[in-house]
Structure 1
Amino acid sequence: MSRLPEDRPELQRDSSEKVHIKGVEDEVSHDISLARVSRRQSDETDTDHLNFALFRRLFSWTRLYGPKRYWLFACVIIRAAQLPLLAWSLSAVINGPIAEGDYAATLWYALGYAIFAIFTQVVMHFRMRYALEMGETVVCEMRNAVFRHLMKMPMAFYNRTKHGSILSRLTSDMESVRQGVQNVLFVSLVQMGQMIISGVLMAFYNWVLFLALIGMTPILWAINRFFRKRISRSSRNLQESFSRVTATVAESVRGIHVTQGFSREQTNAGLFRRLIADHSGYNMGLSRNIARYLPLLELNAQVFTAILVILGGYGALSPTMHMDIGDLVTFFFLAGLFFQPITVIGRQFTSALAALAGAERVFRLLDQKPDWDESGNDRDPNDPPEVPLENFSGRVHFEEISFHYEPEKPVLKKIGFTAEPGQMVALVGHTGSGKSTIINLLCKFYLPTEGRVLFDDHDIRELQTASLRSQIGIVLQKNFLFSGTVRENIRVGRPDATDEEVEAAVRQLDCLDLVENMTNGFETVVTERGQGLSLGQRQIVCFARALLANPKILILDEATSSVDTMTEARLQSALETLLKDRTCFVVAHRLSTIRKADQVLVLDQGEIIERGNHRDLLSEKGHYADLYRRFTEE
């Protein structure tokens, strides 16, 4: 059975897919241009991106970790004191028993030093273990929170957001957050504590040398300030660039049949190469900044040590100062522990900026509000509470509905009709006339811009979404199957259904033999995107899934287009019984499927231009009659 010419995919394939490919090229070029503009703007903006408010928000998630978090901070404090105390005890051995030549006391001191050193390693073990466990807990909870948030987001969000960008939030951005939680704070606290305690002990031994050391810190501050902004910008740009790469890979995998069908492998590889080159540029920029930053920190530490050698040597050799050699050795031990953390903190600083860039992108996603929130947290107190749809008769009324995806491009204009319980309403029209948008509004995938959608007498805005959708069964032309068995995919419509109820739903469709003839019957494994089943078999599974849910409203969007003529005839016969007492909306290109519709709504450019039943519309010899004539001629 043929289709209307304007709806036949084989006639539209060449032009539409070429337009799609041209759009991909323009989008890649646009993304790269935006990235370069963003990089120039970042270079022109001299702001500090080490956002401590963001850091506090990130670590507020550690409250889920409970008492172990406090044990972790205790380990951090103990660990920060241990290495300076080890250095101090070593110098005490040198200044005491070794200087006095007491061999027995030296052995006892050495034994005590060894025991204390073992204790430091035990503390280090628990510090690292607790940090790793807490990092995993935080990332696990954040991933769950992001996924729950994604499940609440409306279709408009997914239309404007690339899937690869969403995936990057759950992968690369989360890994950056993990490193920030596990390492940055606690390693930095240990190193800073080590510096503070070493500084206090150095001041105790020789406050003059310590003041000379403190006088050199403005140089370190200037170096840190200079590179901090550059590394922060580079980290943010790198994360955004990786998101674009991930989005392009995801889109390319989904559209591989188009790529290979038009022999676009080399061309698309070139487009991807441009994105990778842009990403590589950000990576190289970050690497160059780090490669300058860390050696400068280490060089300054060595220069400071050399200056201390000069000052300390002068103090030890000067006949007026008489600085003790043992104290000078202790001071240099502590100075080493004071300067060592500088490079470590420098490395942690770059990790902190990457973690904050990832956390910023994750929180930006979590902060996006859905068009409606049923939790009650973000609802206007003046709005009526959302109510469940109970005792629903099946009556649906569209009251002067207007809708647009973009303000300047209206899709529906003052649409009004009523579907009484048990009626079949057919939506007919050319591609882009608004048929699918009506279905989207009916399912509350979007809310109308103007007007009201009423279920019985309830405005769709007042109804709980889950309760509403539990009354609706959908069978689309291109349905989605999950990885699993045929039985599990049918049970998606009603997870608590028994095996007998699943088989009864297929039997009602008069397709039980078709399912049982699959490789393993109901246990046939369905792979990603329904691979392993033919188009017709997938459609039968989707029919059974919708009917098992026993909905009051059934939506069929060219639902029999993927099955052969004989199977379609069997389904049509079964549907006559199954549609009884259900309100049905049919989007049809095959006009033979809607001859028995109670209402036929003919749409054109978002408006209803004709309405009536099949026979009345034919007698009017208008737009519908012309469509039907062209259909019968084919």
Structure 2
Amino acid sequence: MSTAKTKVAESAQTPPPPAKEALTLNDTDHENEVQFKPLEWGLIRRLFGYAKPVKGKVAWLVALTLTRSVQLPMITWAVSLIISGPIAGHDTQMLLWALLGYLVLALSTDGIFHFRMRFALEVGESVVSGLRTEIFEKVQRQPMGFFHRVKLGRVLGRVTSDVESLRVGIQDVLFVTITQGGQLIVAAIIMAFCDFVLFLVVVGMAPILWGVNRHFRMRLSSESRAASESFSRVTATLAESVNGIRVTQGFVRQETNAGLFRNLLNTHSRFNLALARTSAILIPMLELNSQFFIAILLMVGGWRTFHDLMTIADLIQFFFLANLFFSPLATLGAQYNNALVAMAGAERVFWLIDHKPDWEDAPDAQPLPDPRGQGAAITRGARVEFRNVTFGYDPQKPVLHDINFTAEPGQTIGLVGHTGSGKSSIIGLVAKFYLPTAGEVFVDAHEVRTITSHSLHQQMGIVQQQNFLFTGTVLENIRMSRPEASDDEVREAARRLDCLDIFEALPDGLLTEVGERGSGLSVGQRQLICFTRALLADPRIVILDEATSSIDAMTEARLQTALVELLRGRTSFIVAHRLSTIRHADQVLVLDQGRIVERGRHEELVALGGRYNELYSQFVQTAGD
């Protein structure tokens, strides 16, 4: 087997995808606080903690890697011994035995190489799967405020390219580096055994190589980080552009956005080229140094041969080993840059995993008692009370001020007011998507901080203006609120909402495939699916946040009777610009700049002639037009 081929196969690497900048809640603050650490043992040790499911293979992998690092110099040494021994001595019989031994060693080396690569791939996959699973679980548990502050592209970047850079770092960079480093050490030991004087010459050259590496290390670190940060901006912009494609095309922004994207790409290319230039200087310089050192060895070795201090065969043997000693240096230099990318990815991934949510359920939080199914005499609705509630997404800038009201079990509460008055903020507090900045929210006399979010959400049904459907069938999307529901129960829920015929009119009925974000269905059809999904959950608390705004007047008329069925016995909160939806509400709260300015039933508020009457008059005039 060719030694050159062995080295090429061992050092061939899959270039890691560009990493991205750290995920932040406040990007500028985080970039200023976090300093780039090229190599950190703590991160490496933590990464291998995700390999526990295959820890037996990790042990084998380490053993195989160390064995291979010894085998590679042994193959080269065996070649030199065959040349200086049987070939130089013209010993045909010994040559045959030597070749047989060399063949066995070469085959065992290739066999170990096979299993080293295989186990490295399995260990890398174990780590990647574990990381992606934990990232997903941690992101799912983050409160809503997290998703308001963090760009989608950066979350995706942590799960995709950052984790992939860690896969490359584990299954390729780490074990190739160990192999090449072990080869260098073993070659050094054999060289010391063969000719200690020439070995000292080689050792004396080591500080020069160390100095070259140190000089370029900081440049590679800073340039690698700059390239990572610029790539994050590219992916974040791309994700945002795809999500906002309707706005882009609607306002003919294609060329403008393309120009902005090209500028980001040019900046990213500039950083990548700077990184490539530095790497292109370092790696050839290491190779040049190797050739320079070989020239010095030729001079010293030739002098020792002239003075009979060593034979030509010994000199040839030493040069085989010296080549084996210097050849890993270029590979190790290339691996160092890949290691920087992997460490940067690890830093960002673990920052996301370790990021503490703004708030979590209290350790002693208890499930909210659920009276459903315990008898018809028990009221199905929940009692919801706000006491002196003040709230702000930024605590320093409240959007709700001193809110007080009570929704008795089975009552319907209407929330009206101009955009930005605080309606959706109240809905978010009822659902415990947020916690009050001050004051208390009670559900069935339990303060929301003392009950688990999971148990509360199990007793709620929410239909929002921005309806969201997952890829799958209509049936699967409806059943998402209660996975154990039968097909007949789903159909019954749709029948009670008087929209079963609309679903059955679809190409494949309830089995019609729904594309990403509900593509293939009209806005109204998507909203009806969300209504049916809410009813199927049999909730105690129903939240309708502009839920009928996407439905045409004829369909809404059909839904009015069904809504009575959906809301009967349940405590409901309705946010609506169409005031006809809340005419029969038990209590209407009129909000203005985060404060309740009026409250009462529809007729009372109209008769009052205040803010609600103005809104209702505008609604009637618009409906008449």
TM-score (norm 1): 0.90
| Partner residue in 1 for 2:588 | 600
**What is the aligned counterpart of 1:317 among 285, 306, 315?**
306
For the Cα contact (< 8 Å) 1:88–1:334, is it kept in 2?
yes
Instruction: Give the aligned residue type for 2:112.
Output: V
1:287 to 264, 269, 276: 276
**What CA distance in whole angstroms lies between the structure 2 residues aligned with 1:325 and 1:299?**
25
Is 1:138 aligned to residue 118 of structure 2?
Answer: no
2:203 is equivalent to residue 219 of structure 1: no
1:140-539 pair list within 5 angstroms: 140-319=129-308, 322-374=309-361, 384-391=364-371, 393-539=381-527
* Counterparts of 1:244 and 1:295, CA distance in 2: 32
User: Which whole-Å CA distance do the structure 1 matches of 2:295 and 2:145 have between them?
Assistant: 63
Q: Work out the CA distance in 2 between the residues paired with 1:260 and 1:109.
A: 74
Q: Quote the offset at 1:94 in angstroms.
A: 2.5
**1:10 is matched with which residue?**
none
CA distance in 1, matches of 2:332, 2:52: 25
Q: Is the 8 A contact 1:386 1:461 kept in 2?
A: no
In the TM superposition, 1:552-563 aligns within 5 A as 552-563=540-551
Aligned length: 588
Residue identity in the other structure for 2:479: R
Q: Is the 8 A contact 1:505 1:548 kept in 2?
A: yes
Give the conservation status (yes or no) of the 8 Å contact 1:389–1:468: no
Contact 2:64 2:116 in 1 (8 A): yes
Q: Using the TM superposition, name which of 237-246 and 477-486 deviates more.
A: 237-246
Q: Could you tell me how far apart the structure 2 residues matched to 1:266 and 1:488 are?
A: 39
Task: State the one-letter code of the partner of 2:261.
Answer: F
Letter in 2 for 1:256: I
Deviation at 1:102, TM superposition (A): 1.2
Question: For residue 603 of structure 2, what is the aligned residue in structure 1?
Answer: 615
1:6-25 residue CA offsets vs partner (Å, 9 max, x unmatched):
xxxxxxxxxxxxxxxxxxxx
Separation in structure 2 between the aligned mates of residue 86 and residue 318 of structure 1, nearest angstrom: 30
SS in 2 for 1:408: coil
Give the counterpart letter for 1:498 in structure 2. S
In structure 2, what is the equivalent of residue 24 of structure 1? Answer: none
Query: What do the CA deviations read for 1:452-472 (whole angstroms, capped 9, x no partner)?
Result: 111112111121111110111
Deviation at 1:352, TM superposition (A): 0.5
Counterpart code for 1:279? H
Counterparts of 2:553 and 2:84 in 1: how far apart (Å)? 99
Query: C-alpha displacement at 1:615, in angstroms?
Result: 1.3
Q: Does 1:125 align with 2:121?
A: no
Could you tell me how far apart the structure 2 residues matched to 1:371 and 1:582 are? Answer: 31
Distance 2:525 2:130 in 1: 38
State the alpha-carbon separation in 2 of the partners of residues 38 and 585 from structure 1: 42
Q: Is the 8 A contact 1:64 1:138 kept in 2?
A: no
Report if aligned partners of 2:80, 2:317 keep a CA contact under 8 Å in 1: yes
Q: 1:577 to 1:63 in 2, by over 3 A?
A: closer
How many angstroms apart in 1 are the aligned matches of 2:343 and 2:185?
Answer: 26
- How far is 1:388 from its partner? 4.0
Residue 91 of structure 1, CA deviation: 2.3
Aligned to 2:17: none
Q: Quote the Cα distance in structure 2 between the aligned partners of 1:135 and 1:237.
A: 26
CA distance, structure 2, for counterparts of residue 64 and residue 224 of structure 1: 37
> What whole-Å deviation, never above 9, does each CA across 1:417-467 have from its counterpart, x for those lacking one?
110000000000000000001111111111111111111121111211111
Q: State the SS of the aligned residue for 1:281.
A: helix
Residues of 1 paired with 2:173 and 2:589: CA distance? Answer: 62
Instruction: Tell me how far apart the structure 2 counterparts of residues 385 and 261 of structure 1 sit (CA, whole Å).
Output: 48
Greater Cα shift, 93-102 or 623-632: 93-102
Percent of aligned pairs with the same amino acid: 54
Q: What runs of 5+ residues in structure 1 fail to find an aligned partner?
A: 1-30
Deviation, 1:373, is 3.7
In 2, Cα distance between equivalents of 1:388 and 1:623 = 37
Q: Retained in 1: the 8 A contact 2:471–2:516?
A: yes
**For residues 178-212 of structure 1, what are the alpha-carbon distances to aligned partners after superposition, in whole Å with 9 as ceiling and x for unaligned?**
10011111111111111111101101111111111
TM-aligned CA deviation for residue 48 of structure 1: 5.5
Give the structure-2-normalised TM-score: 0.91
1 CA distance for matches of 2:394 and 2:504? 47
Tell me how far apart the structure 2 counterparts of residues 483 and 72 of structure 1 sit (CA, whole Å).
40
1:49 Cα offset (Å)? 2.9
Q: How many Å separate the matches in 1 of 2:92 and 2:619?
A: 108
Question: Aligned partners of 1:195, 1:403: CA distance in 2, in Å?
Answer: 64
C-alpha separation in 1, matches of 2:64 and 2:134: 29
Larger displacement relative to structure 2 (564-573 or 185-194): 564-573
Shift of 1:523: 1.0
Which residue identity is paired with 2:312? Answer: I
